[in-house]
């Protein structure tokens, strides 16, 4: 491995990563990558996960980039992927970055259009996954109080 000068920012999958962090935790900055996936990607690419991201060589950065972009072609189990059995194509995918955000927005629009239960809950702005609504998810939470207001101009004790 060739040593090169420390880089404070490295670019992987169109995302700037902090060079001062270990590569295992720096990869979590990429939308769609959690700690478990970052660990698996480091093992597949044969990169030391405890090394700081700024110390990685160009070759290691390219290995990580290509592994993340072709994650479905690796030996990872199907349950590691974040888009299994895509409704449009039926294939297993792993979405990263802006693709993930775009796909989620389109899914929500489709649910609203078909007026499914989840779509209606999204439309109304209430919890979608069965959470309670009595104490949480109140509109304008923190603005004002829920107590009783007294009449204007009337002081306590005088009616």
Min mean pLDDT across 47-56, 89-98, 148-157 is at: 148-157
| Overall pTM surpassing 0.85 (yes/no) | no
Q: In this predicted structure, what is the pLDDT of residue 87?
A: 86
Partner residues linked to 12 by β-bridges: 15
pLDDT digits (tens, 9 = 90+) for 56-80: 999 999 999 999 999 988 888 999 8
pLDDT digits (tens, 9 = 90+) for 119-148: 999 999 889 998 888 887 776 666 655 566
- CA–CA distance, 72 with 78 (Å, rounded to integer): 8
* Phi and psi torsions of 103, nearest 5°: -65, -40
Indicate the domain borders of the chain.
9-78, 97-129
How would residue 1 be classed by pLDDT, with cut points 50, 70 and 90? Answer: very low
Residue carrying the six token digits 């489709």: 110
Q: According to CATH, what is the number of the domain 9-78?
A: 1.10.8.50
- Average pLDDT on 100-116 reads 95
Nearest CA among 102, 111, 100, 9 for reference residue 53: 9
The SS3 assignment for 145 reads coil
Q: How far is CA 144 from CA 133, 139, 150, in A?
A: 19, 11, 14
Does residue 64 contact residue 10 with C-beta atoms inside 8 Å? no
- CA–CA distance, 101 with 32 (Å, rounded to integer): 9
The SS3 assignment for 88 reads coil
- CA–CA distance, 53 with 20 (Å, rounded to integer): 6
Q: In this predicted structure, what is the pLDDT of residue 150?
A: 72
């Amino acid at each position: 491995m060739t040593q090169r000068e420390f880089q404070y920012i490295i670019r992987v999958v169109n995302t700037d990563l902090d060079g001062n962090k270990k590569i295992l935790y720096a990869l979590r900055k990429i939308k769609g990558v959690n700690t478990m996936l970052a660990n698996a990607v480091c093992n597949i690419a044969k990169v030391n996960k405890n090394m700081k991201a700024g110390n990685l060589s160009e070759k290691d950065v390219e290995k990580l980039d290509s592994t993340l972009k072709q994650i479905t072609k690796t030996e990872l189990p199907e349950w590691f992927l974040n888009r299994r059995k895509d409704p449009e194509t039926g294939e297993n995918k792993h979405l990263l970055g802006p693709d993930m955000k775009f796909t989620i927005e389109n899914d929500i629009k489709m649910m609203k259009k078909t007026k499914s239960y989840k779509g209606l809950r999204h439309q109304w702005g209430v919890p979608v996954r069965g959470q309670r609504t009595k104490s949480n998810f109140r509109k304008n939470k923190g603005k004002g109080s829920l107590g009783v207001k007294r009449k204007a101009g009337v002081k306590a004790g005088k009616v």
